[in-house]
Structure 1
Amino acid sequence: MKYTTKSFLNLLLLAFASSKAINEEENILLPKFSLASGFYDEPIELEIKTSNPEAIIYYTTDGSIPNENSTIYEKPILLKNKSYEDNVYSNITNVEPSNDYVPSKKVKKANIIRAIAKLPNSNNTNSTTTTSVISKTYFVGMNKKELYFDFPVISLITDPYNLFDYEYGIYVLGKVHDDWIKEDPANANLMFFLHKGNYNLKGREAERPATIEYFPGNGDREGFNEDVGIRIMGDASRSFIQKSFRIFFRKEYGAKNLKYDIIPDNIRSDGKGLVKSYKTINIRSGGNDSKWFLFRDKVLQSLVKDRNFETQQGDIAAFYLDGEYWGLYTINENYNDNYFATNYDIDKDNVILIKKYKIEEGVEEDLETFNEAMNFIMNHDMTNLENYEKASQLLDLDSFIWYMVFNTYISNDDGIFNDRNWAMWRVRDPVPGVLNADGKWRMIVFDTELSSGIYDTNYKSIDSLMNALTEGTESSNFMGSKLLSSLLKNKEFKNSFYNAICDVKNIDFNLDTVNSVIDSLKERVDPLVYDHFIRYGKMADLEFEGPFEFDPNNPIDFKSIDSTKSTNSNDSTESTNSISDPNEFYDQQYQQFKDWLNGRPTVFLDLIAKLFKLNPAVEVTVTSTDFTKGSFQINHGKKIFEKEFKGDYFTEAILYLTAIPSEGETFNYWSIENCQFADSNTNTTNTNTNTNKLEEITVGILPNEGCKVIANFGPVSEIPTEIPTEVSTEIPTEILTEIPTEIPNDISNEVPKKVKIIKKCLKL
C-alpha cells in the first residue's frame, strides 16, 4: 500500500491522539494516595483511591510489583513503625564471598506501599486496563530531624527479584558465582574481592527498574519521586555487602533527566552557576573505606576541588532499600557525556571519555587518537622545545601535573601509579570560547579512598612515585609513569611539578583546612555511624595489618537498639565481624585518618627532596602592605590570598606570584628580602642582585632561607629607577637534576635527623 504525505500525516495524528487518550485514561485510573511519602510521628491510616469506580486496586508492602495475585485494597491501610519487625533483606547472606554477616539487631525500617489500578478485562486494545506502579515510602514513629538531622534520606524501591534472585538478581553471588567456581574450583581460594558474581554484570543487561524517593535534609516529605533504572557500580567493592548503585534517569522509565538540587551547592566545572540537571547519579558506599572512616574520598576530593582536573562534589545521605535501612552513602555525579554537557557548554556527542584504556564515551577512532597522543609524549624527547610544545597541545600539562602530585601526596594505591582508577577526557572538536574545550586531554579524579593510611598508617612513604620513576619496576611500565618520566626531562615541566609538590602541602592540605574539614564532617556524621556499623559490622577477614585487629575467636555483639520493644529472632546469631562499640570503632578510624593527614606534611617535602636530590625546602613569607587594598595568587592557582602566607618551597624552582589590586586601588611593586627575582637573561641562579623591587604584576622568585616577598599597594611611593622589562620564564640549570633510577635504601623509612622537619604553615 502506498501512502500519500497527507495520509501519512493523518496516521501520525491518529497515533498521537490515541496515545494522548491512553495517557489521559491512565491518569484517571492511576491510584491516588491520601498521604505524601514522608516521616510521621504516630501510626496513621493510608487511603488509596482511583477516579474510575470500576477499577480494582492491588498493592504490596514488600517492594514487589503488584499484580492480580497481590492484596486487593478494600479498606484503609494502617501504617505503623516497622522497625520492630524482623529483618528480611538485610538477613540475606549470599552477597559477599566468605562473609555471612547479618545484623545482630533489628535495623530501622519504613513502610513501602506499591499499588496499581486495573480494569476488568477489556477487548479494546486502545484502552488502558492496568496502570503504572505508584510507589510510596512512609517512616512511621520516626522523627527525621531527631534521627537524621540535616542529612537527606533516600528510599530505593525495586522488586526484590531484581536484586536477590539466584539467576536474575544483581546484588547477589548467584548463578554467575557458582558457574565461575565450577569452571575452576581453585577460584574458591581467591581473596573475596576477586570473586565473580551476579553483581559483576554490567551494561543494560544489568539494569533493573526501580523507584527512587528523596527526602531533603531540611524537610520530612519527599522532594522527588522518580522511576529509574539501577545498576551495581564499582570494581572490587561490588563484592562487599554494602554495594554502590548507579541511578539512570530515562524517558522509558519516567523523567528524561533529574531536575532537582540533589547535590547542594554543586558548582559547574566552568564556574557558571549550579548544576541544574542530572542524567545519572551515583549512590556510593565508601568503597574500600566503607568499613572504616567511610568518607575518605569525599574529604580528599573536596580539598583539591579547585585544581585543574575534574572532581566529584557530593552529599551524604541515609539510605533505605525496599524499606530496610541500608547504611550511609554519598550522592555524587557520574562521569559521562552528560556530565560534561551540564558542567560545560559542550554538546555531549562531542565528548570523549577514556577510562583505563577503554572508551566510556566516544567511538573506536577516539581510542586510536588517545593512544597516538600518549605514545608521542612517552616516546619523544621532551627536552626538545618543539616536542614539548606539541605535548602541551595534546595534554593539559597543568592538569596532569596536579593529578600526579595529588595521587603522590595521598599515597593512592589504587590510582594511576598502579594503572587502576584513572580517566581522561577531551572534546573531539574544539569549541572556541568554552573553558577546557580546546581538544586537550584532561584528568578526572575518582575512587581515591585506597590511600592516606587506610590499611597502613605509614605517612613517611612516597613509594608510588619512586616506583613510577625507577626503571625496572612494574609501575615504571604503566602509561602514567611513562608520561611523567618523559615530561620530567623538561625543565619547565619540572619547575611546575616542584611548585605543585610544595603547593599541595602548603595550600591544599594546609593543616588548618584539613582539620576543619575532617572535624566538621566527623561531628556531623557521629550520630549516624552507630546504625551504619550495626547494619554492616567490620570488614571481612583480610590478611593485612589494618587499622583494626580482627579477632574471629572473640565475637562481640552490638549494643541494642529498640531494646524496649519486641525481641528479634536474629538476636541469638553472633557474627565474627560484629563490633563491640561502633562509635568507639569509628572514633579510631577518624583519628587514624586525621593522624595520617597531620603527619604527612611533616615529612613530604623532605622525601621529595631526597628522591630528586634537592636542597631542603625553605620557608617563604608572602604578604601585602595593606590587604584591604590588594591580595595575591601563588603559582597561577585559583586561590586568592587575603592575608599573610607562609609556605615551604624548593630553592631550585622559580616561585610565581601575582598581585591582585582591589577595585579602585593601585599595585605599585613587589619588594623582596633574602631572595631574588628570577633573571630572564640567564639559565643559572645568578640574578640581578641590585634589584629588590619590580613593578610587574606577576614575578618569579628564587627563594632562600628567610625569604620574604611583599606586594606594595596604594599611592605610588618610591619606585626603582631601573626596572627589568621582562620576568623570567627560564629555569635555573640546577633544576635539571636527574630523575632517580635507583630507590634510596632508606627513603621509605624514617627521615634522617639531618633533614630539616618542615615547619607547619600558619592558617591561610
Structure 2
Amino acid sequence: MHLRKIMLLLLLWLAFGSHATGQEFAPIEPEGPEKPELWVDFSIEGGFYNQDLRIELSSPGAQIYYTTDGNTPDPRVGSHKYTGPIDVSTTTPIRAIAVKDGRQTKPISHTYFIREPESNFPVVSIVIPPAVLFHPASGLFVKGHNIVDTIWKMPGANFWSKAEVPMNTEIFEADGTCVFRSGAGFRLFGGMSRLFPQKSITIVARDRYGQKRIDYPIFGKKGLKKYKFLVLRNSGSDFGKSHFRDGLMTSLVDDWDIDKQDYRPSQVYINGEYWGIYNIREKINRYFIAGHHDVDKDSIDLLEHRFNRKTGSRRHYQRLLDFLDRYNLDEPSNFTYVESQMEVDNFLKYQIAQIYFDNQDAGGNIRFWRPQTPEGRWRWILYDTDWGFGLHDEQAFKNNSLAFHTEPDGPRWPNPPWSTFLLRKLLENRSFEKAFVNRFCDYLNTSLSSRVVEQKIDEFQLRLEPEIPRHLDRWHLSLDRWYEQINQMRIFARQRPDHCRMHLMEKFDLGREREVRIDVSEGGKVILNHNLKLKGAGFEGKYFERVPIRLQAVPRLGYRFSHWEGIDVPPDAGEFTLSLTESAYHIRAVFEKYVHPLAGKVMINEISANNRESGDWIELYNYSDETVQMGDWIFTDRGHEFMLPDVTIPPRDYLILCEDSKDFVQVFPKAYRYIGDFDFGLNKRYERLGLFSPEGALVDSIIYEVPPIDTVFTMNLLLPNLDNADFENWELLRGIGTPNAANRYYVESTIQARRELWIEIGIAAGVILLCIMLLALRAMGKI
C-alpha cells in the first residue's frame, strides 16, 4: 500500500508538478539584494504622513541605539537604547545603529515628515550632528572664533572650510517615493555665496559611508543615471532674488552643444527642520565629464580660471596659448591648427552665451577640459552665471558685453586681459568673425529671442510660485522683491536682443540689418548657417548686409528637394550662399514625395518586437522577380536609423534585420539570410517603421498599434499581395515566429487553395468520367 501511494504521488508530480516550475509558465521574480548579517529594521519606512506614528525597530540578537536630533548613535554616550516603540508626532529623523558581539552597523536614518505642506519638488533630508554645523567654535555654518570680520569676505570663518564629514541623507521624489537612502559625505559648496545664511551643500556618495553612487536619474531621462556628487545650491549670488537665475540662463542653451549642469529645484530639511528651496545641480569635476562624454575620468585635463589645474595636465593648453601668441590667425593654416586643438564652435557658442547674459563674473568662472588623447580638443563648461541678466543693475540690458569680453586692457577683475585673449585672437580670422556674427544672429532670432526667453521665465516662475513663499519666510526674505526681480529679468529679455545687435554693428563692419523669412514645405528642413534647423513656416530673423548667410535644403526620408521660391538660384541648388543685397527676403524651400520603383515589391512581412531571447527583428520579403541589391538601404523606427550592409534578396525570398544577430541565431539556428545589428529595440505597443533606398526614396512603411500582450508574439502580413500599410491585413500570433519562411496564414491559405483545386479537379474528372460512361451506354443502346 505504501509503495502504491509513492507511485501515485510520483505520477501526480510528473503530470502536474514538474510543469509548474517551467519558465514559460512561471515568470522569475527578481531577487533583491540580501541584507547584511547585522541590520536595523524600521517597522514603517521614512516618508510623508498625515498622522502621528509609532515606529518599532528590530535587529535579531542585537542591541539598538538611536537618536532623533541628528546626532550619530553611540552606545557609550548621547543615544537612546531602544526598548520599545518610538512615538513620532512632528517631522523627525530617526538615526539608528545595531550593536552585536563588538560589531556595529553604519548609521541608518529614516525621516518621518508629519503633516508637512505638499510640494511638487523632490525633498532631500540631511541628518547630521547639530554640533557639526552649529558649534560656536567649530560649526561649519557659523563664523567661528578665527574670523577677520573687518573684511567683507570674512576670511577665517568656519564656513570657508573644505572639510567633508559623514551624514545620512534621503532623497524623495515629489510623489513621496524614496529613491536614495544612505550614509554620505557632507561638504559646503560655493564661493562668495557662503556668506549667505543658507549655505550650499555637496552630497558625496562613497562606499565608506554607505553607497558609492546615487543610483537614480534625478534629472530624468535626459540626465545621467547615477551620480557620485550632487550639489544643493542656494542659487549663488542670486540668493534672495529670483532663486532661479542660473537655472534659467543655462536652460536657454539646452540645444547648443555646451557642457552645463542640469537643474532641478528641491525642498531640503536638515535634522527635520525645513531649510528652504535648494537647486539640485551637478558638480563639475572629472566624474561629470566622464558621465556626459563617455571618457575615462582618469584621462582628462580639466583646467579652471586662467589655466589652474583641477585634474590632469595644463601642458597642452599652454602650448596652444604659445601658438596663439606667436601667429596671426587670419592665415588659414594657422587657424586650421587651432581648430585641431580646441572645439572652436563650442567656444564660439560659449562666448555668445556669456555676452548675451551680460555675465559680469564670466572671467572668474572659467572651466574647460579635453580628453587626454592625440585628437583631444578643449571644450568649455558654462556654469555659475548668476551675475547675468541684470543681477545688480536694472539697466544691464544696455551693457556692451561684447566690448567687455574683447577688452585688451581690462582690470584684474572682472575682465583681465588673459580672460579676453582667446576670443580676441580668434576674431583675427575673418571667417571666424563672420561665423561669430551669424551665429549670434541665429540665436538672437531663436533661443535668445524675447519671445522664447520670456516664455522660459514664465515657466520658471510658475514652477516656483506655489513653493517660494515658504522658502522666503524661512529666510526672512521679501515676496515683493521676488516678483520685482522676475519683472526685471523680463525687461532684460525684451530689450537685450536689439542692444546686442547694436553692439555687433559697433564692433564689426556689417552694413545694414536685413529681414529674412524662411518657410519650409512638408518633407524636409532647411539648415541655416550650418546651425539652425528650420521646419514649417514662419522663421523670421535679422541678419546683416555684409555677412552672407548659408542655406541648405535637407529632405526627410521619403522626400526629395524640388526647388526654392523667392530667390533666383538654380533649381538643383540644394545648398548655396546668399548675399543680403536686398532689405528683405521671403524664401521658401519646397520638397516633394519620393517613392522608389520597388515600393510594394520589397516589403515588411513579419515583425517580432517582444522576444527577449532572440532580440527584436523584422522580416523583409522580395515579391518581385528580380534580385534586389540592398547595400546602404535604411531601416528606421521613430528616431533611429540602421544602414544595411552589402546584402541582396533573391526574388520571392526573405531577409531578416535583427537587433542582435548572435541571440537571433541561437533561437533560430536554421535561419539562412539575416543581418544585424541595429542598436535600437522596437516598441511592442506602437511603432512607425520605414525602409528607404540610399537616395532616401520610400520603399515601404508601416505603423502598428497593438494591445498589451504579456507573452512572445509576432505580427504577420496575411498575404504578400496585400497592402501592408493597412494593419487589417496583419494578424497577431503567439509564438516566436517564422523568420526566413512563409507566414502561417499564407501557408495555410496556400494548402487550402491547393486542396480546393484538387477537389475541383476531382469533381471535374468525375463529371467527365460520368459523361463518357453515359455516352458509351448510349452508343451501346442501353439508354
TM norm structure 1: 0.70
User: Is residue 400–residue 503 contact of structure 2 (8 Å, CA) maintained in 1?
Assistant: no
Q: CA deviation at 1:378?
A: 3.9
- CA distance in 2 between counterparts of 1:638 and 1:654 reads 15
Q: 1:418-464: per-residue Cα shift (whole Å, max 9, x none)?
A: x200111110115xxxxxxx411111000111111111011443433
- CA distance in 1 between counterparts of 2:586 and 2:321 reads 41
- CA distance in 1 between counterparts of 2:214 and 2:467 reads 27
CA separation of 1:135 and 1:470: change in aligned 2, threshold 3 A: closer
Residue type at the aligned position of 1:251 = D
Partner of 1:748: none
Q: 1:325-348: per-residue Cα shift (whole Å, max 9, x none)?
A: 111111122222222222122111
Q: Which is bigger in relative contact order (C-alpha 8 A, separation at least 6)?
A: 1
Partner of 1:281: 230
Partner of 2:730: none
Match of 2:577 among 679, 700, 707: 700
User: Is residue 66–residue 114 contact of structure 1 (8 Å, CA) maintained in 2?
Assistant: yes
CA root-mean-square deviation: 2.2
Q: CA deviation at 1:672?
A: 4.2
Q: Which has the higher strand share?
A: 2
Match of 1:406 among 334, 353, 356: 353
- CA distance in 1 between counterparts of 2:415 and 2:473 reads 43
Match of 2:194 among 219, 232, 238: 238
- Provide the secondary structure at the position in 1 that maps to 2:557: coil
Partner of 1:618: 514
Q: How many residues are treated as equivalent by the alignment?
A: 557
Partner of 1:709: 587
Residue type at the aligned position of 1:387 = N
Q: CA deviation at 1:698?
A: 3.1
Q: 1:124-182: per-residue Cα shift (whole Å, max 9, x none)?
A: xxx55322211110111225xxx20x3111111111232223454322222442xxx2x
Q: 1:75-107: per-residue Cα shift (whole Å, max 9, x none)?
A: 2111113xxxxxxxxxxxxxxxxxxxxxxxxxx
- CA distance in 2 between counterparts of 1:534 and 1:639 reads 45
Q: 1:345-397: per-residue Cα shift (whole Å, max 9, x none)?
A: 2111121111114555433xx21221221232244211112211111111111
Q: What pairs with 1:293-308 in structure 2 (closer than 5 Å)?
A: 293-308=242-257
Partner of 2:273: 324
Residue type at the aligned position of 2:107 = V
Partner of 2:367: 423
Partner of 2:329: 382
- CA distance in 2 between counterparts of 1:633 and 1:128 reads 70
- CA distance in 2 between counterparts of 1:466 and 1:455 reads 19
Match of 1:199 among 159, 166, 181: 159
Partner of 1:344: 293
Partner of 1:487: 426
- CA distance in 2 between counterparts of 1:609 and 1:190 reads 43
Residue type at the aligned position of 2:463 = R
Match of 2:542 among 643, 648, 663: 648
Partner of 1:100: none
Partner of 2:47: 38
- Provide the secondary structure at the position in 2 that maps to 1:308: coil
Partner of 1:184: none
Partner of 1:97: none
Give runs of ≥4 in structure 1 deviating > 6 Å: none
Q: What pairs with 1:217-256 in structure 2 (closer than 5 Å)?
A: 217=174, 219-256=175-212
Partner of 1:510: 449
Q: CA deviation at 1:512?
A: 2.8
CA separation of 1:669 and 1:195: change in aligned 2, threshold 3 A: farther
CA separation of 1:664 and 1:371: change in aligned 2, threshold 3 A: same
Any unmatched runs of 5+ in structure 1? 1-22, 82-109, 120-126, 182-187, 268-274, 431-437, 539-578, 674-690, 717-764
Match of 2:341 among 385, 391, 394: 394
Partner of 1:131: 105
TM norm structure 2: 0.68
User: Is residue 287–residue 297 contact of structure 2 (8 Å, CA) maintained in 1?
Assistant: yes
CA separation of 1:511 and 1:370: change in aligned 2, threshold 3 A: same
Q: What pairs with 1:65-76 in structure 2 (closer than 5 Å)?
A: 65-68=72-75, 69=77, 70-76=79-85
- CA distance in 1 between counterparts of 2:132 and 2:532 reads 46
Residue type at the aligned position of 1:705 = S
Residue type at the aligned position of 1:615 = G
CA separation of 1:535 and 1:710: change in aligned 2, threshold 3 A: same
Partner of 2:481: 585
- CA distance in 2 between counterparts of 1:360 and 1:158 reads 32
User: Is residue 422–residue 444 contact of structure 1 (8 Å, CA) maintained in 2?
Assistant: yes
Partner of 2:471: 532
- CA distance in 2 between counterparts of 1:633 and 1:375 reads 36
| 1:264 and 2:245 aligned | no
Match of 1:634 among 522, 528, 531: 528
| 1:47 and 2:62 aligned | no
Match of 1:478 among 412, 417, 420: 417
- CA distance in 1 between counterparts of 2:483 and 2:459 reads 14
**Which region of structure 1 is more displaced relative to structure 2, 638-647 or 705-714?**
638-647
Residue type at the aligned position of 2:205 = F
User: Is residue 66–residue 116 contact of structure 1 (8 Å, CA) maintained in 2?
Assistant: yes
- CA distance in 2 between counterparts of 1:322 and 1:476 reads 42
- CA distance in 1 between counterparts of 2:314 and 2:94 reads 47
Q: CA deviation at 1:472?
A: 3.2
- Provide the secondary structure at the position in 1 that maps to 2:349: helix
Q: 1:227-284: per-residue Cα shift (whole Å, max 9, x none)?
A: 11121111111221111111211111122222212112334xxxxxxx2121111111
Residue type at the aligned position of 1:323 = G
| 1:29 and 2:38 aligned | yes
User: Is residue 654–residue 702 contact of structure 1 (8 Å, CA) maintained in 2?
Assistant: yes
CA separation of 1:378 and 1:616: change in aligned 2, threshold 3 A: farther
Partner of 1:290: 239
- CA distance in 2 between counterparts of 1:360 and 1:32 reads 46
- Provide the secondary structure at the position in 2 that maps to 1:27: coil
Identical residues among aligned pairs (%): 29
Q: CA deviation at 1:62?
A: 0.8
Partner of 1:212: 169
- Provide the secondary structure at the position in 1 that maps to 2:64: strand
Partner of 1:115: 96
| 1:141 and 2:101 aligned | no
Partner of 1:757: none
- Provide the secondary structure at the position in 2 that maps to 1:666: strand
Q: CA deviation at 1:613?
A: 4.3
Q: CA deviation at 1:671?
A: 4.2
CA separation of 1:642 and 1:253: change in aligned 2, threshold 3 A: farther
Q: CA deviation at 1:209?
A: 0.8
Q: CA deviation at 1:661?
A: 1.2
Q: What pairs with 1:731-742 in structure 2 (closer than 5 Å)?
A: none
Any unmatched runs of 5+ in structure 2? 1-32, 595-783
Partner of 1:442: 379
Q: CA deviation at 1:44?
A: 1.3
Match of 2:128 among 141, 145, 158: 158
- CA distance in 2 between counterparts of 1:589 and 1:460 reads 14
